[in-house]
Amino acid sequence: MCATYDRPPLLRKGVVSLLEIKDSDIRLLSLHQCRHAVDRSIHIGGAFSATIPMVSLFYGGIIDIDVEQPTAVGQDMFVLSKGHAIATLASIYADLGYFGMEVLENSRSITSILNGHPGPLLPGVHLATGPMGQGVGVAQGLAIAGRRAPQFDVYAVTGDGELQEGPVWEAVMYGGSERLENLCVMVDHNGGQLDNVQKLHFPYHDLGRSFASFGWRVMEVDATRLAHVHDALTAFKFGPREGKPTAIICRSTKGYGGFSNFMNSHKVSITEPMLDQEVELQERQRTARVDAFLGEYNGSVRRGYSDVAEALENRAEEMGLRVVQDGDQAIGVEAEPCPVRVRKAPVRNKRILYRLEKLPEIEVGQAYAAHKVIEAAMREFAMAEKVVSVDSDLASTSGLQSGVGFVDKSRALNVGVAEANMMLIGEAFAVLGYNAWVSTFCPFFDWKILRRLAVGHQERLEVIEDGGWLSEGHGLDYTMLATAADLDTQANGATHMGNDDALILNEAAHIRIINVSCPRQLLAVMRWVMEGNRGLLYIRILRAPAPALYGADFEFEFGKAYRPRDTEAPQATVITSGRCVHEALDAADQLDAKGIPIEVVDMPSIDQEAIRAAHASGRPVFIAEQNNGYLWTHVRRVLFDSGGTLDTTNLYPLNLTGRGEPQYVHSGTYAELAAHFGLDAEGLTQTIERVLS
């Protein structure tokens, strides 16, 4: 009989054998997906090389998840950054009971919730991934949140090809500096990518040292050996963490675990004969793995280690496996079908409570800087635990860090010159139900990240509307605060000028743009945001101080225009927003002195009825804005969609294009730039007077 110290090695060996059986089951499910996919294809290379790491994580007693309530706080989080491995994740999630096995059929069809990349359409998936290099940054943001009570760990799987993307290293740098010891990134280092499955375009000479140089703990393992990966994950989960995030470099090959070299490809359509052959060989391997486990299990029984045998039975049950018994001997290991366990997420109350009397006092006619209004307001709003901000090196222009940080500096982050990472961290907090604010100069937001973020938000809204696993309140509350809009950047140069940002984001789905004109309006917008469930917002604020135009009773409503002053029998209408509202009001004073009354319409967000009413009045309508024509684009769109004949005779766009092509604006003082483009009070006065004469 073996000594008692043999028990741990025997148990470990048996657990690894069970994991190998599970590895076979997951690969068979992935091949089943391919057979029944709408295009009969699969991203086989990356899915198969990631199978051992993901099986080790989900079945090895490592990750602590609540399948019934995937949005419950305090459980560990998982991010599949390399979205091409969706087949493996879907196989695992179906096996765990996040959704039924039928979801694995007809994938990538328009009627399926299983797409070519993961997203919140799938129960248990918290964000859309696929565009490379972004999931690691969101995982890092989740880990930052996971340091707060209740604490949790975060795991991410990324690919070595994905590491060629810059946002990954922004996250690696910041994660190391923040000592995120609850973050574990598993790198599927399979040595290939889409364009060449045999090698990387930029081979890594010492990938581990790259992570280590930024303060990460690194473990490098042979990811063709399940025991090695499981040991590394066990060391992360249960060993000392040294105040560092962990990177597990999983060395493998593209398509590892497939028998035919045909499986080494990126994405392939597999013929029926090839699928039959691969399935047969995978099933043979499973049988061999079961036999190996039976030898270990029955050996434990023969040696008198009934406690080891019982522990292995329990571990098998946790993995969704059943050890088939015949007397005191095990004769097989069967997969136990798991019913769908996910229950509908509870409704999230996203409203931020605050004390109205604690908000800053703003008097009509007095000038205030926008960042000072934000700072003062956030000192009250941030008393709520679910308010968080992330700046990227320009906190002095937003007021977020100083305002939120006055309450809780751990919720007022600054990522340095790394706008992509800023957006990813903000997304992570929004995923967890926070009211998240991110801020930088207007042109510095990352389009690729914004687009993927919006895809995930859309999927959440679709699931909520269709009565799926998410409930009301599980959309993203994510505000992008764009500082120095229009001509307010002044003398910094064309690269920093925010004159085309609104037009660019105008064409992005689900982005709601708000162009703030005055301090009172800004405060009202912030109060509106704090009501919750406002989605993805892009709020453009002024940099220089501006006088308040509205009184204390002003309330903001998205999609509504405002009139800062009443005008009787106006001869023309000026539709404007932002800084240009003040220029238009000054022009109105000059014209009124000449007996020419004009109406000024402040349109922080698009008011379709106000546009139609202005056009229907028959008066000249001037669309004045200090950018390349965001309002003008919407005026045309609204009127064109109204039907009938569109008469443009009385429409006068006044913007930075001069009716020409979009352009970038070079340096100058605000006064110089506004005068140059005829968008100061004098220029507007002259233009309107000329048209009316």
Least confident of 110-119, 156-165, 300-309, 322-331: 300-309
Look at residue 181 in the predicted model and tell me its pLDDT: 98
User: Is the pLDDT reported for residue 432 higher than 50?
Assistant: yes
What integer pLDDT is reported at residue 201 of this predicted model?
Answer: 65
Name the band, by pLDDT with cuts 50, 70 and 90, for residue 247: very high
| Residues 263-289, mean pLDDT to the nearest whole number | 91
Q: What is the pLDDT of residue 43?
A: 86
596-625 as b/e: b if 16+ CB within 10 A: bebbbbbbbbbbbebbeebbeeebbbbbbb
Give me the pLDDT at residue 659, please: 66
**pLDDT confidence bin for 2, thresholds 50/70/90:** very low
- Whether 352 contacts 381, CB under 8 Å: yes
Query: Per the CATH hierarchy, to which homologous superfamily does domain 356-547 belong?
Result: Thiamin diphosphate (ThDP)-binding fold, Pyr/PP domains (3.40.50.970)
User: Quick one: 108 exposed, middle or buried, by C-beta within 10 A (0-12, 13-18, 19+)?
Assistant: middle
Asked if residue 25 has pLDDT above 80, the reply is yes
Closest to 216 measured CA to CA, from 245, 259, 178: 245
Which of 693, 660, 655 has its CA nearest to residue 674? 655
Residue 4's pLDDT is what? 46
Return the pLDDT at 195.
59
Least confident of 10-19, 60-69, 610-619, 657-666: 657-666
- Give the start-to-end residue ranges of the domains of the chain: 37-270, 356-547, 572-692
pLDDT at residue 490 greater than cutoff 90: no
pLDDT in tens, 156-168: 999 998 999 999 9
Sheet strands (E) in 337-495: 367-368, 387-391, 412-414, 435-441, 477-483
pLDDT at position 597 over 80: yes
Residue 2 CB neighbour total at 10 angstroms: 13
Q: Is the pLDDT of residue 3 over 70?
A: no
Inform me whether the pLDDT recorded for 203 exceeds 80: no
Which superfamily does CATH assign the domain made up of 37-270 to?
A: Thiamin diphosphate (ThDP)-binding fold, Pyr/PP domains (3.40.50.970)
pLDDT of residue 202: 73
* Mean pLDDT to the nearest integer, 8-14: 88
**pLDDT at residue 691 in the model:** 97
pLDDT for the residue numbered 10: 84
Is this prediction's pTM over 0.85? yes
Name the percent of the chain lying above pLDDT 90.
Answer: 84
Q: What is the band of 1 on the pLDDT scale with cuts at 50, 70, 90?
A: very low
Give per-residue pLDDT as tens, 69-111. 999 999 999 999 999 999 999 999 999 999 999 999 999 999 9
The 3-state DSSP class for residue 183 equals strand
pLDDT at 5 over 50: no
The mean pLDDT value for 501-526 works out to 96
Is residue 429 within 8 Å of residue 436, measured between CB atoms?
yes
Q: What is the pLDDT of residue 618?
A: 94
Give the architecture-level CATH label for domain 572-692: 3-Layer(aba) Sandwich (3.40)
Sign, CA dihedral 404-406-412-413, equals positive
Mean of the per-residue pLDDT values for the chain? 94
Average pLDDT score over residue span 127-134: 90
Segment 607-629 mean pLDDT: 97
Mean pLDDT of 235-247: 96
Strand partners, 651: 621
Higher pLDDT, residue 202 or 481: 481
Lowest mean pLDDT across 21-25, 302-306, 519-523, 620-624: 302-306
Mean pLDDT, to the nearest integer, of 506-516?
A: 96
The answer on pLDDT for 465 being more than 90 is: yes
Do domains 37-270 and 572-692 share one topology? The answer is: yes
Which tokens sit at 334?
């069967």
347 phi, psi to nearest 5 deg: -60, 135
How close are the terminal C-alpha atoms of the chain, in Å?
A: 109
Q: State residue 194's pLDDT score.
A: 62
- In this predicted structure, what is the pLDDT of residue 371? 97
137 φ, ψ to 5°? Answer: -65, -40
Exposed (0-12), middle (13-18) or buried (19+): which is 630, by Cβ within 10 Å?
Answer: buried
% of residues, the chain, pLDDT over 70: 97
Compute the average pLDDT of residues 581-598.
97
| pLDDT score recorded for residue 198 | 61
Q: Once rounded to an integer, what is the mean pLDDT over residues 394-404?
A: 94
Nearest to 483 by CA among 512, 442, 523: 442
